[in-house]
Structure 1
Amino acid sequence: MIKKVLMVVSALFGLMFVNAGLSKFYNYMPTPEDLPAELVKDMTAMAEIVWLTPLVGGAEILGGLLIIFPKTRALGALIILPVFIGIILTNALVAPSGLPLVLVLLAILIWIFISEKAKFKPLFMG
């Protein structure tokens, strides 16, 4: 039962990142009107670095797709991790109103890492 729940949660988590990544390329998700000024400033700075948004979007798409499938879930989690650290820091320091959702997503990512810990053992054991 827990494996099935993890599979569904991982699929939804992965699809959310695929959607976010595709939006960086096709700009189909509207920007909320009530964003904090500091966040708008940060997003504008990020957009000025022409290679950064496609890099993050590509990582979100690739990581999200890999997380969906159990065989590649561990690799997807590793690809999503640096992007997610940026999401956590942004929400903790600039836009704390999104922090509750981010903490739920963090719990899902931690669950994925714990469930895939056997695949990470070679990274730490040499």
Structure 2
Amino acid sequence: MIYTEINVSEAVENVILTMEAVIFEKHISLGYEIEPDLTARGNSEQIKQVVMILLENAIKYTNPKGSINITLKKQLIDILFSVANTGEGISSEHLEKIFDRFYRMDQSRVRKYGVSYCQSHH
């Protein structure tokens, strides 16, 4: 894996550009505030992949005619990336598990999509 100094602002903007048509087709309004020229050491493709996954999830779980809001800004020495959407949200009982690999809040979705998931152990 090659790590270099990358322009995170550009990486995020590139992903947004590729997804704008899909968002428009679904009648979702998109707002974003990207602070320019924020850089970090990392892998550009991995950063884009994470942004894409978060944006795809936001699109999937946004209510019709809902909205998605994306922000990227410097916060002290860190870069804060945020994706927020309108929709039913995640109930408090499921919040602690959202970073468990393959965890799904609604198990009926697993059956609906015909995919089997397994719980990982960290």
Q: Provide the TM-score with structure 2 as the length reference.
A: 0.30
**Higher-RCO chain (CA-CA 8 Å, sequence separation at least 6):** 1
Structure 1 or 2: more strand by fraction: 2
Structure 1 or 2: more helix by fraction: 1
